[in-house]
Amino acid sequence: MMHNQKSEWMVKYEVLIEEESRAVITHPRSRLCFWVNKDDDHYKKNPYPLNEIQRDAFLSLVPGIAAIRVFLSDENEIRKGLKKLNRLLEEEIAKRKNNRQDNHKKLLRSVLENELAKLGFQVPLKKAVDILSQPEFLNFVLQGLLLKDPGAGLSHGEFTHIIQWLLIAWGNEEHHFLKGHQSAVDFFQKIGTKDSGNNLSEIHIAAAYSELWIIAVDEAIPDSYSQKIEPEFTSPISLHQFILRDDKNDFNQLQNQVRLRDTKRHHQQGVEPSYVSKSMFGNNMSNSSNNSSKEISQEIKITCSLL
């Protein structure tokens, strides 16, 4: 399909995306009012407002965020993407059987990395071991790097944000809803910000851009600002539970893999914390004799939910 030829999905939802785009910067419940809506009382009290250039750059991303929210409200599109991921997992299992390899060892990670690499994201995936500040986290986003999030809790799922962005990237390849951006990873990286340590300007910009991340893919409780969509899968908890509770048997293999990861983390954690303590991986980090240098280099701090 040519990029200038709209898909049926885009024809159906284009107006709704525009309405949601306006709503996310004007609705009083929206976290973006604080940064861009000059008529909002919260904006007027913001001690660190964006300057005009920063504000324009920030606002240029809002239509894409709105498009992602609308896409993640479409259960049919989400189910279609999850079925595709499930099929890829089954194909990888068959390939491993033919090669007499372990059928399930790092299966989900392997398939996700392969697909993300095709789409331009940085691989291999890295695993977090401590809480990140907003600038630190968004600096990884700037690099096009998605992180496994074992510390966000079992209800969240460590691969859920990765799956969200894979579905978004696949959806955008088909429907081209991220207008003005070359690809999903191009848009993803624009949500990222620089981290130079204690630069106050960068810290304030990261605080603003973290709100874009939250309303796109990290809402604790999904909220519709236009009141015309139900953006259920902007919540990683909702997507994780949707995978685990699939009653149509559309993605059994994916469901099995996610459950295996949850079981592993449950045994490691004992109980479900808000975040895993650094000691969860402390021994692995300190005992380098038990890990290759490559594996250790892939261990970084736990991502915060930015809430």
Pairwise CA distance, residues 247 & 209, whole Å: 36
What is the 3-state secondary structure of 192-203?
CCCCCCCCHHHH
Q: At what angle do helices 200-217 and 134-142 cross, to 10 degrees?
A: 70
The pLDDT assigned to 298 comes to 42
Q: CA angle, 111 as apex, 182 and 285 as ends, to 5°?
A: 100
- pLDDT tens, 26-52? 888 888 888 887 887 877 888 778 888
Does the structure show a pLDDT above 80 at 248?
yes
Pairwise CA distance, residues 214 & 35, whole Å: 14
Pairwise CA distance, residues 108 & 110, whole Å: 5
196 Cβ contact partners less than 8 Å away, ≥ 6 residues apart? 202
The pLDDT assigned to 267 comes to 57
- pLDDT tens, 53-72? 999 999 999 999 999 999 99
Report CA-CA distances (Å) from 50 to 38, 64, 94, 136, 208: 11, 20, 52, 19, 8
The predicted model scores a pTM of: 0.85
- Is there a contact between 220 and 60 (Cβ–Cβ < 8 Å)? no
Pairwise CA distance, residues 65 & 243, whole Å: 23
**DSSP letter at 224?**
-
Torsion of CA 259, 260, 262, 266, to 10 degrees: 130
Between 203 and 168, residue with greater pLDDT: 168
- pLDDT tens, 1-13? 445 689 999 999 9
The pLDDT assigned to 31 comes to 81
Helix (H) or strand (E) holding 182: none
Does the structure show a pLDDT above 80 at 104?
no
Pairwise CA distance, residues 86 & 93, whole Å: 11
296 Cβ contact partners less than 8 Å away, ≥ 6 residues apart? 284, 285, 288
